[in-house]
Amino acid sequence: MWSAKNITYPAVEKYLYAITPKSDPVLYEMERYAYKRDIPIVGPTVGRLLYLLAQISGAKRIFEMGSAIGYSTLWFAMGAGSAAEVHYADGSVDNAARAQEYFRRAGLADRIRIHLGMAQEKLAETPGEFDIIFIDVDKPQYPETLRLAVPRVRAGGLLLTDNTLWSGRATRKAPRGDARTRGIQQFNRAAYAAKDLFTVMIPIRDGVTICRKL
């Protein structure tokens, strides 16, 4: 059912999704809902990566910028455990309402705080440092969001970003007027050039960039 839409090498994608265990019932329902309505979510392979990174880093305080229906939020909440404080931020009232219902049904609503509005503004309004910040906002906003997010990650914490290959378009010169591709390309250069980040891009699904704050 789940489709990565051939963003990376099709045979590899097919193999990865064939061997990935089926998600738990709530996550699986979210995958089906997103697939039928063409709602962008990270999908189960990246979801498992987010879970693992939250778990092995010992992250407890997580801020997600651009949360949609809350799919990756749930993976973070599961990986970070019962003491987690996961912040969901999205500008859509409908997305937030649907996400809240999924959180309730998954039994994880007590770990998740919902912020309705622009993710950058909500991050600025939320005090303290975070163990993980996850960026998945509108692509032209990526460079500025990087600038805002890095100071809010604790030393040793992780800054994670989705869609950094952008269906392969990040590898080519951006056409005139293509602000989304240009934003991702600027973000990628800035993340690798930053002296206070150690950056690695993982070429699964649409590209996931992992930065450790030094």
Domain boundaries, the chain: 10-213
Cα angle 214-90-153, degrees, rounded to a multiple of 5: 10
- Spatial distance between the Cα atoms of 154 and 51, rounded to a whole number of angstroms: 19
Span 12-36, pLDDT tens digits: 888 888 999 999 999 999 999 999 9
Supply 19's token pair. Answer: 């061997």
Cβ contact 179:135 at 8 Å: no
Cα angle 129-132-172, degrees, rounded to a multiple of 5: 125
pLDDT for 5 = 52
Per CATH, domain 10-213 is 3.40.50.150 = yes
Q: Among candidates 156, 167, 168, which has minimal Cα distance to 211?
A: 156
Distances (CA, A) of 179 to 80, 131, 140, 170, 185: 34, 30, 5, 12, 10
DSSP the chain: ----TTSS-HHHHHHHHHHSPPPPHHHHHHHHHHHHHT----HHHHHHHHHHHHHHHT--EEEEES-TTSHHHHHHHHHH-TT-EEEEEES-HHHHHHHHHHHHHHT-GGGEEEEES-HHHHHHHS-S-EEEEEE-S-GGGHHHHHHHHGGGEEEEEEEEEE-SSGGGGGGSPPPTT-HHHHHHHHHHHHHHH-TTEEEEEE-STT-EEEEEE-
Position 122: which residue type? Answer: K
Span 75-96, pLDDT tens digits: 999 999 999 999 999 999 999 9
Span 132-186, pLDDT tens digits: 999 999 999 999 999 999 999 999 999 999 999 998 899 999 999 999 999 999 9
pLDDT for 167 = 87
Strand-pair category, 197-202 with 208-213: antiparallel
- Spatial distance between the Cα atoms of 198 and 111, rounded to a whole number of angstroms: 29
Supply 124's token pair. Answer: 């600025």
pLDDT for 175 = 93
Position 39: which residue type? Answer: I
